[in-house]
Amino acid sequence: MMADSEFLSTRQAALRLGVSLGTVQNMVESGALEAWKTAGGHRRIPTASVEAMLARRRTLTPSVQESGGQLDVLIAEDDPTLQALYRATFEHWNLPIKLRLVNNGFEGLMQVGQNAPDILIADLMMPGMDGFEMIRHLRANPDLARMDIIVVSAIDREEVLHKGVPADVTIFGKPIPFHEIKGFLLGRLAARQRPY
């Protein structure tokens, strides 16, 4: 039997990673973090799995000085109302974020090619090139491995995974879960400021 310190609860993992509980749950469900469930239904996450993710983040995350202290966030969303909602919400948070918006996957690829963001938030159903195709192109490029991708879609999670969205992509349903997205962004900002 392994000692308790070798495993973390979802809450402990969230604190260690600097992300929200929901983000840790998504990481577990997508396979990005190893986990098992106790007889009582509680998740236990190996400490080694969390430490491995932190080590990967350290090697992939530029320092605050390199980035000017801002997170570069690119949002691919074709609905003008949702674009306005993203813009207003991000401005309200008053976080050090550079926000860019595009209408489809093709524009997203062009923006990433010009200047890769730290985080891409993508809808899946867009005209022209959809989010599925855009994400496949991006994940095929090893130079873009450091870029986090978040999918926000009305499509059922199982169908999204079935259509080949990679396991390292965080998947959220609509309506847009701004609380979870903010937690993810705060986690990335905290990771940049942590001394290594």
Note the pLDDT tens digit of each residue in 73-131.
999 999 999 999 999 999 999 899 999 999 999 899 889 988 999 999 999 998 888 89
Note the pLDDT tens digit of each residue in 5-56.
788 888 888 777 766 676 677 667 666 678 888 888 888 888 888 887 777 6
pLDDT category of residue 63 using cuts at 50, 70 and 90 = very low
Nearest to 170 by CA among 154, 148, 142, 185: 148
Residues facing 71 on adjacent strands: 97
pTM recorded for the entire structure: 0.67
Averaged over 159-186, what is the pLDDT? 89
**For the chain, which domains are there?**
4-60 (1.10.1660.10), 66-193 (3.40.50.2300)
Averaged over 162-188, what is the pLDDT? 89
